[in-house]
Amino acid sequence: MAVYKRTYKGYSGALTAAWSRFLILPRYSFGRLFQSKFLVLFLMACFFYPAGCAVFIYLSHNLSFLRVLNVQAANLLEINANFFYIYCTVQATMAYLLTALVGPGLVSPDLVNNALPLYFCRPFSRSEYVAGKMSVLIYLLSLITWIPGLILFLMQSSLAGRSWIFANWWIAEAIVVGSLVWIGVLSLIAMAMSAWVKWRIAAGALILGVIFVGAGFGRALNAVMRIRGGAMLDLAQDSFTIWSALFRLPGAGQDIDTLDAVNAIAAACLICLWLLFKKVRPFEVVK
Amino acid sequence: MIAKYWAQMRAVVRLEMKKTFLSRRGLWVYLLAFAPVLMFAGHDLSMMRTREERRAIAAAHPVPAGALLSIQPGMTREEVIARLGEPNVDSRQIRFGGGRIRREFLSYTDGQSRYVFGFADGELQSISVREEETFAQDRLIFATVFQFFFLRLAIFFGCVGIFTNLFRGELIDKSLHYYLLAPIRREVLLAGKYAAGLIAAVAIFTASAALQLWLLSLPYESSLSGHEISAYLGVAALACLGYGSVFLAAGLFFRNPLLPAAGVLIWESANLFLPSALKKISVIYYLQSLCPVVASPHREINPVLALLISSTEPASTILAVAGLFAVTAVVLVFASRRARRLEINYGAD
């Protein structure tokens, strides 16, 4: 064919449905992420605690003789809201570390290599881009938080009987809602840091730092200014406060009110979204 | 030969200085370092304003401290007003239980402390006294903030930012080969980069600590002793020295220095709970030993975790300083060995 005939022609093949276009991004991201052996090992390590909990639940229903012999031991083996609250706390810590590993590599490579125009010259919106990148984290973090949590809940329900599930259905709700709140906060922080700090290592350090330094600064602020509101800067504490309300454990989050915690989390999410949309654009102004 | 190495090292320090102090990538280090300064400045402003307000109110409505102390729960609103006079600040009424219970709060001040009397349906139920802050209290708070926020978080993350950037940042920017192609020993290059990072970190963090100490004593007539001030500044500088060497080495040994940084962070944070022997294998143990005031762990710590806290005798000053220098020297020797074999593959990095 003569060169002059090779003119531009629009793509005439089948189009991916508009609603599912954002799922293309996680497909490629997972392929790249799972090349890292360390990440795979860490992901496996994230399932140790849920596996331990499953064994614990099984034993608590098979050591009935222990209950007869020792009342204290029976109390120790009780599976209640506190058990699932502790489960959520442990898995939230693992989720946080996993986010620090995975998060920095989500947006920054696209920005460093000026790849965003290649996404946005296609029928693909900024929201879809953010949703696609976020879904990588949402999927991974769900895999280690509320999904095993619900499996443990179902396991307990099947062993304890139908009456237990009717009396404690709200625990399942607390596991899902509490985990989703934490996943949302972590994902947005990771995406915002990844978009603003192009150096992956620095972005990872900032993801770690936002929680640690926020907590430390909040406590220091409380001590120096003799206030209590500094605890709102501690996003982990805010989440624990929300969880304690969801799990109906009044003593677990004493520093701040639940409403203040919800407001702090919402404010953090909005700031992250604003930062994210400020950076994720189909053009870059080079000064 | 030594003179030549020294001149080369100074040249590296000169080149690195601008990159370390003025790099856009490192601006957040300033924010981290000077955040406590803003906090103490805010505290001073708030304290001075409150003190002036209380003194002005006390001058306009003098209430003797003895009369305030004589108020007991169970007294009626009228009895309190008869004894103390009309309340002078922030009196407010709130209704609870659908308006059935009327709560009222009356505030008085003797010029120093603020007393808030809480009434339910006209009967005194609670007495809250907010005393004027003292220098001794603020000194202890400073010690706690210094040890639990400034050393463990601000300097720690600041050093992560400054020192990992020295080698790993140049790898990312694809500019390290200019150094490696120059006729300069790798050890000298490492020493120069470390010195530049150390000068920057020490300047930033000791300046922040000095400002915090100045703001701490600003609202009071008394101030910290020269020994205490020099101890805090010295500890800040030693923290930069210790953590700096660790993160410089991390930048050389690991493609992603975040993993060792997270490991060190967890280890240093868990130091409170470690047994005595393990405590000594950390930077924070020696730094805390050098602090002039012993700060207790946070009062809101989980009671279960509080049981796990193990107390250990602090190291002597000489041992602590020598220990930090020794750790730094050992880490730098290992880092320089790694630097000798360093090969660049920008594609892989």
pLDDT digits (tens, 9 = 90+) for A259-268: 999 999 999 9
Give a yes or no: residue A3 inside a domain: no
* pLDDT score, position A96: 93
Q: Hey, what CATH class is B52-130 in? A: alpha beta
Residue A17 domain-assigned (yes or no): no
Let me know: does B143 contact B152? Beta carbons within 8 Å. no
CB-based contact (8 Å) between A74 and chain B? no
**Three-class HEC string of chain A:** CCHHHCCCCCCCCCCCCHHHHHHHHHHHHHHHHCCCHHHHHHHHHCCHHHHHHHHHHHHHCCCHHHHHHCHHHHHHCCCCHHHHHHHHHHHHHHHHHHHHHHCHHHHHHHHHCCCHHHHHCCCCCHHHHHHHHHHHHHHHHHHHCHHHHHHHHHHHHHHHCHHHHHHHHHHHHHHHHHHHHHHHHHHHHHHHHHHHCCCHHHHHHHHHHHHHHHHHHHHHHHHHHCCCHHHHHCHHHHHHHHHHHHCCCCCCCCCCCHHHHHHHHHHHHHHHHHHHHHHCCCCCCCC
Residue whose tokens read 């922040």? B208
Chain B residues whose CB is inside 8 A of the A255 CB are 300
Model confidence over B312-342: pLDDT tens digits?
778 888 999 998 999 899 999 999 999 998 8
A window 231-270, beta carbon within 8 A of B: 254-255
pLDDT of A6 strictly over 90 = no
Task: State what percent of residues in chain B have pLDDT above 90.
Answer: 32
Between these two residues, B44 and B91, which has the higher pLDDT value? B44
Name the average pLDDT for chain A: 87
Mutate to test the interface with A, among B145, B148, B163, B170 (most CBs of A within 10 A): B145
Q: Is residue A27 part of a domain?
A: no
What does the pLDDT read at residue A143? 95
User: Out of A202, A221, A254, whose CB is closest to B39?
Assistant: A221
Check residue A132 and give its pLDDT.
93
Check if A220 contacts B (Cβ < 8 Å).
yes
Highest average pLDDT, of A231-235, B37-41, B106-110, B171-175, comes from B37-41
A213 and B28 within 8 Å at the Cβ level: the answer is no
pLDDT recorded at residue B129: 82
| Contact across the interface for B169 and A199, Cβ inside 8 Å | yes
Q: What is the mean pLDDT of residues B253-262?
A: 83
Q: Which residues of B touch A213 (CB under 8 A)?
A: 32, 153-154, 157
Is residue A200 included in any domain, yes or no? Answer: yes
pLDDT score, position A80: 87
Residue A68 has a pLDDT of 62
Question: Is A259 a member of any domain?
Answer: yes
Q: Using the beta-carbon criterion (under 8 Å), do A224 and B149 form an inter-chain contact?
A: no
Nearest to B25 among A97, A202, A224 (CB): A202
pLDDT above 80 (res B93): no
Determine which of B31, B215, B258, B346 to mutate to test the interface with A (most A C-beta atoms within 10 Å).
Answer: B258
Cα–Cα distance measured from residue B184 to residue B263, given in angstroms and rounded to the nearest whole number: 33
Name which of A38, A208, A224 is nearest B43 (Cβ-Cβ).
Answer: A224
- Mean pLDDT in residue range B224-252: 93
Tally of domains within chain A: 1
pLDDT tens for B146-164 read 998 999 999 999 999 899 8
In this prediction, residues B288-310 reach a mean pLDDT of 69
Q: Residue B11's pLDDT is what? A: 93
For testing contact with chain A, the best of B147, B149, B299 (most A CBs within 10 A): B149
Q: Which of B172, B262, B298 is the closest to A219 by Cβ?
A: B298
pLDDT band at B300 (very low <50, low <70, confident <90, very high): low
Q: List the 84-103 stretch of A: residues with Cβ below 8 A of B.
A: 97, 100-101
B28 contacts in chain A (CB < 8 Å): 206
> Does any CB of chain A come closer than 8 Å to the CB of residue B129?
no
Give chain B positions within 8 Å (CB) of A205.
Answer: 157, 160-161, 164, 258, 261
pLDDT of residue A283: 75
- Flag whether A21 is in a domain: no
In this complex, is the C-beta atom of B295 within 8 Å of any C-beta atom belonging to chain A? no
- Check residues B110 and A80 and name the one with the higher pLDDT: A80
Reported pTM: 0.81
Predicted local confidence at residue B126, as pLDDT: 83
Q: Could you tell me if A113 lies within 8 Å of chain B, comparing CB atoms?
A: no
Within a domain: A36? no
Decide if B161 touches A, using CB distance below 8 A: yes
Q: Between chains, do B161 and A202 touch, taking CB under 8 Å as contact?
A: yes
Residue B21 identity? F
A72 assigned to some structural domain: no
Structure confidence by residue, pLDDT tens digits, B179-210:
989 999 999 999 999 999 999 999 999 999 99
Q: What is the pLDDT of residue B45?
A: 92
A206 reaches B (C-beta below 8 A):
yes
Closest-CA distance, A216 to chain B, in angstroms, reads 6
Domain boundaries, chain B: 2-47+134-340, 52-130
Residue A77's pLDDT is what?
64
| B149/A205 touch (CB, cutoff 8 Å), yes or no | no
Q: What would the pLDDT profile of A24-63 be if each residue is shown by its tens digit?
A: 999 988 888 888 888 999 999 999 999 999 988 888 887 6
Q: Print the domain residue range for A119.
A: 79-279
What pLDDT does A63 receive?
A: 65
For chain B, give the mean pLDDT.
85
Whether the pLDDT of residue A255 is over 90: the answer is no
